[in-house]
Amino acid sequence: MLDRQERFTISDKTKHEFIDHSHVLRLEELGIVQCGIATCRDDFSVFRKHQQKHMLLYTVKGKGWLESHGQKFHLEPGSLITVPAGVENGFGISEEDWQIAWIFLSPEHDWEHFCDSDIKYTLTPVAEVIYASILALLRSIALPIDLGGGVAIKVVEQIELMINTPMETEESRNTSRMRHVFYQVQRQLHKDWTVAQLASMLPCSEPHFHRLCQQIYGHSPKVHLTRMRMEYAARLLGSTVWSIQHIGEIVGYPNAANFSTRFKRWGGMTPREFRVRLENANRL
């Protein structure tokens, strides 16, 4: 515990690591003072009375909160909150396994995000990419110096691009949340997903999730899930030599006959016929 200027509570189960401009010169050149990642568990909270740097705080997984001068923000997966230097704030975990990434920026540089003293909260598609980039930067230190230095330069370029690219979007909060739900589903297409499970990830009731899916994608959750599976299967059929049985299992159809039937209903031909057609086309 520090003095009244800054207070923090971090449980033993929380894991966090950071890197700053003393490790990577390119960070200092760009005005990036520090960046880091954390998976917060149990108790985790930070309070800063006089924050000296601009802060970008990305939520990758779980949920958190940030308060400033009586205003409270609920931080959800796929979100970014920007807090200008000098703005008192406190933030912490509100749901188990809050996975975050943060970047501190020098106020001496010109940052479009911080043209005023207001905190800004938005949903963003780059939260996971920022997390992965910072993780790569952290791991580059362990590489031989020439290789590690080259990797660090490339990674910092990616971070700089994402920091400076405007993230304003006209899509609704429901659309952003729905996109995030199906992004999670994409990573586990082999799982036997139910509409109830999908709705719980938004979260909302099953009927409401069904209505939102119809509004956003023009079809039901089950139809959208099947389309995702078939499109991924089609990519695998064209880019790998894996067996059709194996590809079916990867996209959630352990029964080969069922997979073939579903694929033909979607694409007008069986998986085998689809693969042959692609092979013939590539020979031309």
Q: Are residues 81 and 181 in the same domain?
A: no
* Same domain as 185, residue 117: no
Among the three residues 164, 182, 214, which one is the final residue of a domain in this structure?
164
Residues 70 and 138 in one domain: yes
- Note whether 226 and 142 are same-domain residues: no
103 and 225 in a single domain? The answer is no
Span 157-189, pLDDT tens digits: 999 999 987 655 556 778 888 988 998 899 999
**Does the structure show a pLDDT above 50 at 140?**
yes
Q: What CA–CA distance (Å, rounded) separates 230 from 250?
A: 11
What's the whole-number mean pLDDT along residues 13-27? 88
- Of 246 and 22, the structure prediction assigns the larger pLDDT to 246
Is 181 found in the same domain as 153? no
- Does residue 1 carry a pLDDT above 50? no
Domain boundary among 164, 191, 222: 164
* Model pLDDT, residue 167: 59
Residue 29 has pLDDT above 80, yes or no: yes
Full domain range(s) for residue 77: 6-164
Q: First CA to last CA across the chain, in angstroms? A: 69
CATH number at residue 262: 1.10.10.60
Residue 210 has pLDDT above 90, yes or no: yes
Mean pLDDT on 73-100 = 93
Q: Which of the residue ranges 13-27, 29-43, 219-233 would you say has the lowest mean pLDDT? A: 13-27
CB 277 within 8 A of CB 237: no
Give the SS3 label for residue 159: helix
Q: Is 76 part of any domain? A: yes
* Total count of domains within the chain: 2
Are 208 and 247 in a shared domain? yes
Which tops the pLDDT comparison, 166 or 271? Answer: 271
pLDDT classification of 50: cutoffs 50, 70, 90:
confident
Clarify whether residues 157 and 19 are in a common domain.
yes
Point out the domain boundary residue: 112, 129, 164.
Answer: 164
Instruction: Note the pLDDT of residue 270.
Output: 96
C-alpha–C-alpha distance, residues 30 and 21, integer Å: 9
The pLDDT mean for the chain works out to 91
User: Whole-model pTM above 0.85?
Assistant: no
